[in-house]
Structure 1
Amino acid sequence: VAIKVLDPELAAAIGAARFRAEIGTAARLSHPHIVPLFDSGEADGLLYYVMPLLTGESLRQRLLRERQLPIEDTIRIAREISDALHYAHGQGLVHRDVKPENIVLAGGHALILDFGIARSADAVPSPETHTLATIGTPTYMSPEQSSGVSMDGRSDQYSLACVVYEMLTGQPPFSGPTGDSVLLQHRTLDPRPVTALRPTAPGYLSQALARALAKNPADRYPGMAAFGDAISSTLTPPGRGTPGSQAEGRRMLAVLPLENRSADPEQEYFTDGMTEELITQLGKLQPKRLGVIARTSAMRYKKTDKSIEEVGRELGVEYVVEGSVRRAGDRIRITTQLIQVADQSQLWAQTYDRRVADVFDLQDEVASAVAKALEMELVSPASRAPEAQAEPASSEAYDAYLKGRFHWNRRTPEGLRLAIRWFEKAIELDPHFGRAYSGIADVHNVQITYFQAAPEKVYPIAVEAARRAVDLAPQLAETHASYASILAHAGRSAEAKPEFARALDIDPNYVPTLYWNAIYEVSEGHFEESLALARRAQQLDPLSVTVEIVLGNIMWFARRGPEAIQHYQRGLELEPNMPWIHMRLMLCLAALGRLEEALAAIETLDSRVPHTLEAISMRAYVLGRMGRRDEARASLRQLEQRSEREYVAWELFAYAYLGLDDRDGLLRILSGGPKFGLIGRLLLAYDASFDPFRDDPRFRGVLPPRASAPVFLRSS
């Protein structure tokens, strides 16, 4: 046997009488993954208890040796400990101190010990039990436990999720110089997603941990059994569960970028277009039963050397579609195959030879074949409304449209200009091609959002194009989403709302609807709804820089600066040369008083993308905040000079004036009648950078009607 002596400080907090009572209760537990207790007592003022002498090591010892554990080992350990805790909770006991030091690995299994300080979950509160409420380890302590409020088994769920997080990533969700600093993070911050620290971790495992680590116990799993099922289901190969579980579960699929096998490398746009179209078609199969990873995340695996297993784990999918496209003249050959990630087995494969003019029928054929392989039904093309397909009258118009989307996806100023040109060409070839009009609206949407065009100049064009797209293709989610977003930018909220609803009703998997709608909900003051939409987008598009920006914006506008920084930093990992994200990160750092870091971030942007307007504006803002006014004014003059030959958004001037505390300059630019876009209105309403001006009556007079006092998002 082994005799464990209780720490004197902990013993004093519990008391001998309470200790003996709790040991007696814990001794009645009998479970294969709980270390049993044989006896307890007191000797020379020291409290002790007796348990079996175990061979093996603690989980902490293994973590010190390996840092990150294999996925399967992690899930097995988590499942066994969750089973033990589920049993204990059923006996009315809460462990309160789940941590790697209290988990023993012996004989190929995991066991939890130290139930000796547990107490009945429904014990009557008293000064004695209140002391017990704070017993635990800060690194793994739930928000409710550290606050000293009543708690139940969901507190243990949170603690175990912290342990699982550490097994996967090699670090706990939160760390800090003091216990109090760690406890504060548990109560106020969300940890980085597991997949951001360990990309090979399954996406659905990361999502399970995110739910178990919710601040509000009501947002976690209802019990340890549900949590255990969520994390251990990853060990069951997809498609091999019971028929009932397959019917109830939602499968995840990714279409990897099709390979261009054409002799002409310029056909890359066509191959990428086929990939995107296939993603769209598969996303419409059965959205409630099949989730399809969006284009942005899928295209990051273009020409990848990663295995199907690695891709599946990183994206959190069970199935992958891959293939190639060869185009020669008016003929195309598409080869595709469906692969099950669990064992890399090929479930289906087919080669198609068609005329380019028949490409739409070909897309339907491929989607139908995948549906059959997955034992799902797809609405037949004949039964769909003609508008739903929005097919152009000629293959040439479709070709021009694909070129437009190819350049739109680049998101660069030059790419957007080329996209407009090709969308206009598609409309010239087919004036009734609804999706081409939607493409024009999408280009202007991006230009407005990222300060590349004056809203008052492009709004009329964008609104008319989006409205025309809806008229021509009313059954497409993308047309309603584009129209809704443009209406929201134009401040036409009442009209935008039903368009977003219609887009989601048609295709709940269309990611742009989700993130555009998320920003719209912020403008309405609905932060919880906004965050839910953005997280749905993140599930379908886990490697999307746009989704990370949206999440960062939501957190920033909700005054959760550290979390906003995490999302912006994640965005920069995905797109390190995107000036707009650098700017948002600098503003967050500066608002939190981290001015030197903000200045360093400006230098980083300059080294990556020299002479950007964003860097000039931020240099004026940060240097002004640091008291280096002459240098700040020099940057402001640079902005003024650039504005003589190119468009400079009013927001960039505003930040320069903010840094210099130049109220007259700021009021001048705001009173000049600029047509504020949606992002501009949100900045004025919620951006902490404007706080020093909010008490100025003149400033309040130029705020948009929806502007209000800072809003704090409830912890989730």
Structure 2
Amino acid sequence: MQKNADERYQTVKDLLLDLKHLKRELEFSDELERSHIPAFAKSANVGAVNQSSENATIMQPAVSTQNNISQQPSSAEYVFGEVRKHKFVWLGALAILLLGAIGLGYWFFASRSASATQITSIAVMPFVNESGNAEVEYLSDGMTETLISSLSQLPKLNVKARSSVFRYKGKDTNAQTIGKELNVQAILNGRVVQRGNDLTLYIELVDANTENTLWKADYNRPMSNLITLQSEIASDVSQKLQARISNVEARKIAKSYTANAEAYQLYLKGRFYWNRRTAENIKKAIEQFRAATEKDPNYALAYVGLADSYIALGNYADASTNETLPQAKAYAMRAVELDDSLAEVHTSLGNINVHSWNWAEAEREYKRAIELNPNYPTAHQWYSLWLTFNGRLDEALTEIKHAYDLDPLSPIINANLARTYLLKGELDTAAEQCRKFIEFDPAQPQAYLILAFIRQKQLRHSEAIAEAEKAVELSQRASDKLAALGYFYAAAGKRAQALEILRELKEKYDSRKSKAAYIAWVYAGLGDNDEAFAWLEKGVRDRDGFLAQYVTLFTALDSLRSDPRYAELLRRIGLSHAVK
């Protein structure tokens, strides 16, 4: 084997070619040997024919000495002679070499293929905005999210979701730590610099175990080429991660959903606000998504953003679903008309149907979304909730675990996983899930809320109250956390505190900042079932799209389940077959 890499065989094809040449040379040498005249005989004949020629003079010494010693053949003649005498041995050796080469070729290409496809999991870290301008933060965040979405189209690649990787934003965390916490093989880092109309992106693919750089590149483009740049980056990265990508997968990865650069930037701004999940930011997101559709009326993803935002208004702004759902559905249907292949839009339609109590249609949409993109965690998360609503807890656990594998640091997915364990009666496992996430992010109120319900089930009332108080504090007195605290106060015999929270919730309800079902929680804790059902009836009357969630996902109404009115309530919202 040559030490110089340039002198080695670069492919097995080259090796086989040289072996074939050797075989032909051996055959040619055999033929040549049969027709070869030895030098001493030839020189004697020449001397006899032309004694005066120069050749005769040169060859004469050979003639004069042939009686004294045997003619010594040259090294080439020796090899030819050996080949002739051991022809079958040489042919056998050649056959062995050929078989060995074939085996070597199989190993070479198999190992090369294996090494090329060994990266099966990746975390695309939040691109760093190095523009010196916080107002373009939407750009670095949006480019990260778009790349995550594109790479998730590869069915054999586990791409960690946005909510998991963005937990590291602004933190100086090394690749090995991220790799272990997210269970990925590779990390993709990026830096974005915008100067006027010029955009520069630096990206680097890093081995999460060794922290070695596997590949890096930089891209310089005008902002007007932002869309094609995103497609180019997605294609380049996917080729570095996996050796073989089908034409269909390649098209999905490089797909652009708009040709309008302004519309795309408005969409990125919309997602930037949407991901902050407050009432004010969701309203800002709606403005940006709507502006994107005005720039490009055929921009399907912008309509998906509008649909998601109007659904979220019912949760984060306590808006009436009677007002928000029709708009959400109209935008989602427009997105389907434009592009039926988007997993996001089918997931949104599933959610809209859940809040409209159209359960069969919701399940079809969730299944369609998962079929289109099995790596979309939100589809698995929301389908898990659908299964929970319908009492299929074992299947719900499978789906939420799948979502957790894709997005292990999502606060809502962690909360849903813990809650599913709680509803299945696996209290210790549920508590451990909450504890792990609180250790990672102690500022998330939802984990404390679920943990409070777990402690209540364990009859550890003082601990339940303490956890609920923490959730109320962190959420700035959000209605659902207040309602849970009121319920825990009531269950622990702290009636005065429960009534005070009840008063606050009723004021919120009157100003359309709370749900009727929350008030029912507190009445159930106080043991006043008639008032609890009266407020649940108001939820039915209001067509509260979140009513199924408040009734089935939390244990605050467990004391009502044996009452016939509870079964009737489930029947009226289409869940008569749900767990009692």
TM bracket (short chain):
0.7 to 0.9
Counterparts of 2:240 and 2:117, CA distance in 1: 18
TM-superposed CA distance for 1:551, in Å, is 0.8
Question: Which residue, out of 186, 191, 204, partners 1:319?
Answer: 186
Deviation (angstroms), 1:697 = 2.6
1:697 equivalent to 2:564? Answer yes
TM-score, L = length of structure 2? 0.74
Please point out which of 397, 400, 415 is paired with 2:263.
397
Is residue 372 of structure 2 the alignment partner of residue 503 of structure 1?
Answer: no
Aligned equivalents of 2:330 and 2:442: distance in 1? 34
**Cα distance 1:383–1:697, how it changes in 2: closer, same or farther (>3 A)?**
closer
Alpha-carbon offset, residue 499 of structure 1: 2.0
C-alpha change, 1:325 and 1:373, in structure 2 (3 Å) is same
Any conservation in 2 of the 1:548–1:570 contact (CA below 8 Å)? no
Shift in alpha-carbon separation, 1:272–1:372, aligned structure 2, 3 A: same
* Per-residue deviation, residues 469-499 of structure 1 (Å, max 9, x unmatched): 1221222221222122222222222222232
In the TM superposition, residue 646 of structure 1 has moved relative to its aligned partner by 3.8
Match of 1:534 among 391, 394, 400: 400
1:565–1:442 distance in 2 versus 1, CA, 3 Å: farther
Gaps of 5+ in 2: 1-108
Q: How many residues align?
A: 470
TM-aligned CA deviation for residue 273 of structure 1: 0.4
Identify the residue that residue 435 of structure 1 maps to in structure 2. Answer: 301
Task: After TM superposition, give the deviation of residue 563 of structure 1 in Å.
Answer: 2.9
In structure 1, C-alpha distance between the alignment counterparts of 2:331 and 2:223, rounded to whole Å: 27
Residue 281 of structure 1 aligns with which residue?
150
For residues 415 and 550 of structure 1, the distance between their equivalents in structure 2, rounded to whole angstroms, comes to 24
1:629 aligned residue: 495
8 A Cα contact 1:686 1:710, kept in partner: no
Change (3 A) 1:611 1:340: closer
Q: Check if 1:639 corresponds to 2:474.
A: no
- Contact kept? 1:348, 1:370, Cα under 8 Å: no
Helix, strand or coil at the partner of 1:648: coil
Partner of 1:301: 168
Is the 1:579–1:612 contact (alpha carbons within 8 Å) kept by the matching residues of 2? no
Identity of aligned residues (%): 31
Cα distance, 1:270 vs structure 2: 0.7
Assess if the C-alpha contact under 8 Å between 1:451 and 1:649 holds in 2.
no
Q: State whether structure 2 residue 216 is matched by structure 1 residue 362.
A: no
TM value normalised by structure 1: 0.61
The alignment status of 1:253 with 2:122, answered yes or no, reads yes
2:131 to 252, 259, 262: 262
Corresponding residue of 1:654:
520
Alignment of 1:186-201 (within 5 A): none
Q: Secondary structure at the match of 2:191?
A: strand
Corresponding residue number in structure 1 for 2:349: 483
> Structure 1 residue 571: deviation in Å?
4.3
Which of the two has greater helix per residue? 2
**Matches of 1:677 and 1:642, distance apart in 2:** 15
How many angstroms does 1:268 deviate by?
A: 0.7
How far 1:361 sits from its partner (Å)? Answer: 1.7
Looking at structure 2, the residues matched to 382 and 342 of structure 1 have their Cα atoms a distance apart, in angstroms, of: 28
Pairing of 1:416-455 with structure 2 (within 5 A): 416-449=282-315, 452-455=318-321
Q: Which amino acid aligns with 2:132?
A: A
Offset at 1:275?
A: 0.6
Separation in structure 2 between the aligned mates of residue 606 and residue 519 of structure 1, nearest angstrom: 24
Whole-angstrom distance in 2 between the partners of 1:676 and 1:576: 35
Is the Cα–Cα contact under 8 Å of residues 390 and 433 in structure 1 kept in the other structure? no
1:612 maps to which residue?
478
CA, structure 1 residues 639+351, in 2 after alignment: closer, same or farther (shift >3 Å)?
A: same
Q: Which stretch of the first structure deviates more once superposed, 523-532 or 660-669?
A: 523-532
How far did 1:602 drift? 3.0
Distance 1:609 1:504, change over 3 A: closer
Q: Any idea what the Cα deviations from partners look like across 1:347-369, whole Å, max 9, x if unmatched?
A: 22111111223222212211222
Q: Distance in 2 between matches of 1:383 and 1:348?
A: 20
Contact 2:117 2:242 (8 Å CA) reproduced? no
RMSD value over aligned CA atoms? 2.9
CA gap of 1:656–1:528, structure 2 versus 1, over 3 A, is same
Contact kept in structure 2, 1:484 and 1:496, CA below 8 Å: yes
How far did residue 330 of structure 1 move? Answer: 2.8
**Closer/same/farther in 2, CA of residues 542 and 645 from structure 1, 3 Å limit:** same
Q: For residues 254 and 423 of structure 1, what CA distance do their matches in structure 2 show?
A: 27
Shift, 1:628, TM fit: 2.5
In 2, distance between residues paired with 1:663 and 1:390?
55
**Equivalent AA in structure 1 for residue 147 of structure 2:** L
1:346 and 1:361 mapped to 2: Cα distance? 25
Change (3 A) 1:688 1:342: closer
1:493 aligns with 2:344: no
Q: CA deviation at 1:677?
A: 5.7
Alignment partner of 2:273 out of 385, 407, 416: 407
- Relative to structure 1, the CA distance from residue 680 to residue 592 in structure 2 (aligned partners, 3 Å threshold; closer, same or farther) is farther
Distance in 1 separating the partners of 2:558 and 2:372: 41
SS at match of 1:537: helix
Q: d(CA) in 2 for partners of 1:464 and 1:576?
A: 39
Could you give the per-residue CA deviations for residues 186-226 of structure 1, whole angstroms, max 9, x where no partner exists? xxxxxxxxxxxxxxxxxxxxxxxxxxxxxxxxxxxxxxxxx
The letter of the residue matching 1:351 is: D
Partner of 2:168: helix, strand, or coil? coil
Identify if the C-alpha distance between structure 1 residues 380 and 621 changes in structure 2 by more than 3 Å, giving closer, same or farther: same
Could you tell me how far apart the structure 1 residues matched to 2:158 and 2:398 are? 17
Unmatched 5+ residue regions in structure 1? 1-239, 712-716
Distance 1:427 1:244, change over 3 A: closer
Instruction: Tell me, yes or no, if the aligned pair for 1:686 and 1:708 is still in contact at 8 Å.
Output: no
Q: Secondary structure at the match of 2:226?
A: helix
Preserved contact between residue 419 and residue 553 of structure 2 (Cα < 8 Å): no
What is the distance in 2 between the residues matched to 1:593 and 1:310? 38
Secondary structure (helix, strand or coil) at the match of 1:277 reads helix
Q: Which of structures 1 and 2 has the bigger CA Rg?
A: 2
Q: Structure 1 355/619 Cα, relative in aligned 2: closer, same or farther at 3 Å?
A: same
**Map of 2:217 onto structure 1:** 350
Amino acid of the structure 1 residue aligned with 2:174: S
Q: 1:254: Cα distance to partner?
A: 1.1
The amino acid across from 2:151 in the alignment is L
Show the 5 A alignment for 1:444-593: 444-449=310-315, 452-593=318-459
Structure 2 distance, partners of 1:258, 1:365, is 16
User: What's the secondary structure of 2:357's corresponding residue?
Assistant: coil
Distance change in 2, residues 1:649/1:256 (3 Å): same
For residue 255 of structure 1, what is the amino acid of its counterpart? Answer: V
Q: Secondary structure, in 3 states, of the residue corresponding to 1:633? A: helix
Closer/same/farther in 2, CA of residues 670 and 404 from structure 1, 3 Å limit: same
Q: In the alignment, what sits opposite 1:335?
A: 202
Deviation (angstroms), 1:401:
0.9
Quick check: 489-498 or 555-564, which moved more? 555-564
